[in-house]
A = this chain, B = another copy of it.
Amino acid sequence: MKIAIIFGGSSYEHEISIVSAITMKKVLKKSELSFIFVDKDRDLYLIDKEAMKSKHFSSGEYKKGKKLTLQQGGFAIGGLFGSKEVSVDVVLNLIHGRDGEDGKIASLMEFFGIDYISPRIEASVISYNKLYTKLFAQSIGVKTVPYQHLSKSDERKIDFDYPVIVKPVRLGSSIGVSIVKEPTGLDYALDVAFEFDTDVLIEPFIEGVREYNQAGSKSSDWELSIVEEPHKEEFLDFEKKYMDFSRDSQVLKADIDAILEKKIQESFKKIYEPLFEGSIIRCDFFVVDGEVMLNEINPIPGSMANYLFDDFEAMVGRVAANLPKERKIVIDYQYIHSIQSAKGKA
Residue of B nearest to A104 (CB): B107
Kindly identify which residue among B55, B113, B139 contacts A135, using a CB–CB cutoff of 8 Å. Answer: B139
Complex-state Cα separation, A242 to B342, whole angstroms: 14
Interface stretch of the complex, out of A178-186, A307-315, A327-335: A327-335
Q: Is the CB of A104 within 8 A of B129?
A: no
Is A12 among interface residues, defined by CB-CB distance under 8 A? yes
Q: Is the CB of A340 within 8 A of B11?
A: no
Give a binary string over A117-157; 1 marks a CB under 8 Å from any B CB, 0 the rest: 00001101110010110011001000000000001000000
Q: Is the CB of B69 within 8 A of A69?
A: yes
Is A80 among interface residues, defined by CB-CB distance under 8 A? yes
Q: Is the CB of A104 within 8 A of B111?
A: yes
Residue of B nearest to A14 (CB): B331
Q: Is the CB of A336 within 8 A of B58?
A: yes
Is A174 among interface residues, defined by CB-CB distance under 8 A? no
Residue of B nearest to A8 (CB): B331
Complex-state Cα separation, A27 to B122, whole angstroms: 33
Chain A stretch 302-346: residues in CB contact (< 8 A) with chain B? 329, 331, 333-337, 339-340, 345
Kindly identify which residue among B15, B104, B112 contacts A335, using a CB–CB cutoff of 8 Å. Answer: B15
Kindly identify which residue among B72, B98, B103, B337 contacts A125, using a CB–CB cutoff of 8 Å. Answer: B103
Contacts of A331 in B (CB 8 A): 10, 14-15, 40
Give a binary string over A1-25; 1 marks a CB under 8 Å from any B CB, 0 the rest: 0000000001110111010000000
Q: Is the CB of A18 within 8 A of B336?
A: yes
Chain A stretch 256-300: residues in CB contact (< 8 A) with chain B? 274
Interface size class of chain A, counting residues whose CB lies under 8 Å from the partner chain? 35 or more
Complex-state Cα separation, A328 to B223, whole angstroms: 38
Q: Is the CB of A57 within 8 A of B108?
A: no
Is A102 among interface residues, defined by CB-CB distance under 8 A? yes
Kindly identify which residue among B80, B102, B274 contacts A81, using a CB–CB cutoff of 8 Å. Answer: B80
Is A33 among interface residues, defined by CB-CB distance under 8 A? no
Is A71 among interface residues, defined by CB-CB distance under 8 A? yes
Is A82 among interface residues, defined by CB-CB distance under 8 A? yes
Is A187 among interface residues, defined by CB-CB distance under 8 A? no
With A339-B54, A340-B55 as known contacts, state yes or no: A42 contacts B113, CB within 8 Å. Answer: yes
Q: Is the CB of A12 within 8 A of B329?
A: yes
Complex-state Cα separation, A12 to B15, whole angstroms: 40
Complex-state Cα separation, A139 to B134, whole angstroms: 10
Residue of B nearest to A59 (CB): B333
Chain A stretch 64-85: residues in CB contact (< 8 A) with chain B? 69-72, 80-82
Q: Mind listing 28 A-B residue pairs with CB under 8 Å?
A: A10-B329, A15-B334, A42-B72, A42-B113, A54-B336, A55-B336, A55-B340, A57-B333, A58-B336, A58-B337, A98-B329, A99-B111, A103-B107, A103-B121, A104-B110, A104-B111, A107-B108, A107-B111, A108-B111, A122-B125, A122-B129, A122-B132, A125-B125, A126-B132, A151-B274, A198-B274, A238-B335, A239-B335
